[in-house]
Chains A and B, each alone.
Chain A
Amino acid sequence: MRQSINSFRNNVRQFNSNADAIRPSWPDNVGNAFYRDIIQPLKAEAERLEPHMEELIVTLEQLKPQIDAI
């Protein structure tokens, strides 16, 4: 699970980085609209999900030893 969430995070980071790198090459009006309507919401959604992924991992990681110990 850890590996998967890391992979997810890397994907998000890579996306942010690529999007940021591309942005300056665009005319402002196109770039701004695209960033406002697409890129930023995508980033925000991904950032919103991450803590929940983390939370589930933590919960399951805490439960596992308890269940194993029964």
Chain B
Amino acid sequence: MPRSVVDLAKLNELDATIRSFDSNTGASMTAYYHSARNLLSQFDAKLNELSITLQRASEALRRCNSIQDSNPMKSCASEEAAFNRAYRRYKECEELVKKARQAIFEYSNYAAEFRKSKNDLCSRASAGLKHVESFVMDYNDNATPSTDNVMSNGIPAVSPSTTSSIPSSKEQNNGQTMGDSSMFIKGGEEIDHVLPKGSPTNPIAIDMESDKLEGLPPVTAPDNSAMSEAAAGILAALAAGGLVFGMREMLLQQKTDEIFEKQYGISRTELLLKSGPKQKEYVAAYNGIYKGLQQEMKEQQKKEIFNQIQQKKEFLTLEERRINELHGEETLFSRELVHDTKIEVKNLENQIASIDDGKKRIVVPSGKTKIGGLSGDGLSFMKEGMSSKERFITVSNLLGNSQVTLTGDNGKEYVFKNEDSDIFFVAHDGSYVKRYMRDFSQGFSDVETSVNLPEINSTGYSNKMTDVDSTLLSVSAEKKYTAEGVRVVNKTYHINQDGSAWTKVVNASIGGEVRTGVSMSYKGAEIGAEVSAARAGLKETYITAPSLKNGSYSQSEYGSSGEANVGLALSAGTSKAKDGTNEIGVKVPFAKFSVVYGKFNLSEKEFPEYIRKQLK
């Protein structure tokens, strides 16, 4: 019973179906995702709008409060109401936008999973179809085609398929006599079987004039560059032509013929017309070229696949970053470190009694001077440092290789080692230097450069600090208090000529008592002191956000009544300048700022610009 040939037209059809699925679903998913992102952009725009409204309301309230300082009869009720309203609207919107982000993020995960599976399956399909093509072709070669379907080259033409079983490879190899699908010359001894006399593929009768092989160059290894070029040409042609039946083998033979003829000066057909040991030798050479070319193609395909995988990996990396940004998990300055910082405190009237490092605390005697550290909870200083005659200031986690050194006038240095404490305070007469630190475990080292700041007042102090590493972000502990009666009375700024460092002195009225704070910046990172205008029982605080304008720092402040954040959340972010120094520092008042601006899903490049824009 003759076997019927399989319908190879369906092979191309199936291939087209899969390709179409691959590209169409990919395109519709991209369109879908862009739509979602556009919607999110609209939400962001709304949130931004509300943040501006909130900012304005905040400024109006602050102006009113300033007037109130000199005119206690002045009412700020309407400003407060406007601020509270703006705040509520902002928070409400922020919450909804957050939900949208979360939803998109979750979808992104599923989409990425799908894309991965789809790409994998479609690749496998493509490879599988190529394999099936070869398989079916062999099968068809062994099938008995109808007379109508035999093409002029002897290969069975495509005909409607049957569901007859495919023969095993063993069956195929047996009795194969015509149109060997690989076009590969079987070993020399089989030459007569490969091209029988008068076959449709080789109608020329075999000539036994073996002497024509004399004078040919000796058999040598094929030319690698020619092989490589030929393999690339075949792959390119296949890629351009898609999956076409028989094309691979046709091209393979064509290129083998070319290489062989160029190398030995005899065509394949001519060679096959010869006989004898010499002919067998050249046949083997021909087969070597054929196999080598096949191998070269495989290698090139592997490389191509490897490149594709690399590209996909790179794409995935980008995708991951995008998702992270979207999700807000990878915040802008997520691995910010403070390095090489030293604070020297002077004029402390030698009143620092001792540091009990073993107990991780500073013991401050009674008197005017206060010195203390504040642990991450933001409480220690406030509770104990300010109220007790014998002040015990706890600094947590005094471990690791990093340190901060305080030096009194007597020259004595107090070394603080801290792995992860967030805030550090040195206080003096109600004014206090405050230093926010994070992740000291990365190490502090010796002083390298310093900025000397002016003495603030007769009993004041000056700060000395060293270089700050290129990336810096310190985030304070956030502790909320209820407070009242805090007003900024005046501010003074000292900006170095080169703009690299600045200080500000802020006097704040806290419950009628004026307090002074100092803060300073060096190479963009604010490191010094600042008024902490609130403590337990007080209700208002100010948070500052300097921005860089015309080479110097400008200052904006935000304050609010009601709930306030103490510990004055400070975040200083810097970017690397071309000369390797820190280019710009943006102090981000973490807690309050987060109320005002809400989000930080901006690139490192966008962020400073965003802050500047917002502060205009």
Contact A60 B17 (CB under 8 A): no
A42-B100 contact, Cβ under 8 Å, with A22-B10, A27-B164, A29-B166: no
Q: Which residues of B contact A4 (CB under 8 A)?
A: 28-29, 31-32, 35
Contact B163 A60 (CB under 8 A): no
Q: Does B20 contact A (CB under 8 A)?
A: yes
Contact A7 B28 (CB under 8 A): yes
How far apart are A43's CB and chain B's nearest CB, in angstroms? 9
Q: Which residues of A contact B315 (CB under 8 A)?
A: none
Contact B13 A8 (CB under 8 A): no
Once the chains are docked, how many angstroms separate the CA of A63 from the CA of B96? 7
Contact A53 B32 (CB under 8 A): yes
How far apart are A19's CB and chain B's nearest CB, in angstroms? 6
Between A7, A18, A30, the greatest number of chain B beta carbons within 10 A of the residue's beta carbon is seen for A30
Once the chains are docked, how many angstroms separate the CA of A18 from the CA of B14? 8
Interface hits, A9-30 → B, CB 8 Å? 11-12, 14-15, 18-19, 22, 24-30
Provide the main secondary structure of the chain B interface: helix
Q: Which residues of B contact A25 (CB under 8 A)?
A: 7, 10, 160-161
Q: Which residues of B contact A18 (CB under 8 A)?
A: 13, 17, 20
What's the A-B contact tally at a CB cutoff of 8 Å? 143
Q: Which residues of B contact A66 (CB under 8 A)?
A: 96
A55-B128 contact, Cβ under 8 Å, with A11-B21, A15-B17, A46-B25: no
Q: Which residues of A contact B89 (CB under 8 A)?
A: 70
A59-B10 contact, Cβ under 8 Å, with A27-B164, A48-B114, A53-B32: no
Interface hits, B71-120 → A, CB 8 Å? 89, 92-93, 96-97, 99-100, 103-104, 106-107, 110-111, 114, 117-118
Contact B132 A34 (CB under 8 A): yes
Query: Closest A-chain residue to B47, C-beta based?
Result: A67
Q: Does B46 contact A (CB under 8 A)?
A: yes
Contact A1 B39 (CB under 8 A): yes
Provide the main secondary structure of the chain A interface: helix
Contact A63 B99 (CB under 8 A): yes
Q: Which residues of A contact B162 (CB under 8 A)?
A: 27
Contact B121 A41 (CB under 8 A): yes
Contact A63 B35 (CB under 8 A): no
Partner of B28, one of A8, A34, A56, A60: A8
Query: Closest A-chain residue to B17, C-beta based?
Result: A18
Once the chains are docked, how many angstroms separate the CA of A66 from the CA of B300? 55
Query: Closest A-chain residue to B32, C-beta based?
Result: A4
Q: Which residues of A contact B111 (CB under 8 A)?
A: 49, 52
Binary interface encoding of chain B residues 20-49 relative to chain A, with 1 for a CB under 8 A from any of its CBs, else 0: 110011011101100110011011001000
Once the chains are docked, how many angstroms separate the CA of A2 from the CA of B516? 59
Once the chains are docked, how many angstroms separate the CA of A53 from the CA of B78? 46
Q: Which residues of A contact B46 (CB under 8 A)?
A: 67-68, 70
How far apart are A10's CB and chain B's nearest CB, in angstroms? 8
Q: Which residues of B contact A15 (CB under 8 A)?
A: 17-18, 20-21, 25
Query: Closest A-chain residue to B92, C-beta based?
Result: A70
Contact A26 B161 (CB under 8 A): yes
20 A/B residue pairs, CB under 8 Å, sorted by A: A3-B31, A4-B32, A7-B27, A11-B20, A15-B17, A15-B18, A15-B25, A22-B17, A27-B162, A29-B166, A30-B136, A34-B125, A38-B121, A42-B18, A45-B121, A52-B107, A53-B107, A60-B100, A63-B99, A66-B96
**Residues in chain B within 8 A of chain A (CB atoms):** 6-7, 10, 13-14, 17-18, 20-21, 24-25, 27-29, 31-32, 35-36, 39-40, 42-43, 46, 50, 89, 92-93, 96-97, 99-100, 103-104, 106-107, 110-111, 114, 117-118, 121-122, 124-125, 128, 132, 135-136, 160-166
Q: Which 7 A-B pairs have the closest CB atoms?
A: A4-B32, A7-B28, A8-B28, A15-B21, A1-B35, A11-B24, A18-B17
18 new A-B contacts, CB < 8 A, other than A15-B21, A37-B128, A45-B118, are: A4-B32, A5-B28, A7-B28, A7-B31, A11-B21, A11-B25, A15-B18, A19-B17, A30-B132, A49-B110, A49-B111, A52-B110, A55-B103, A56-B104, A60-B100, A66-B96, A67-B46, A70-B92
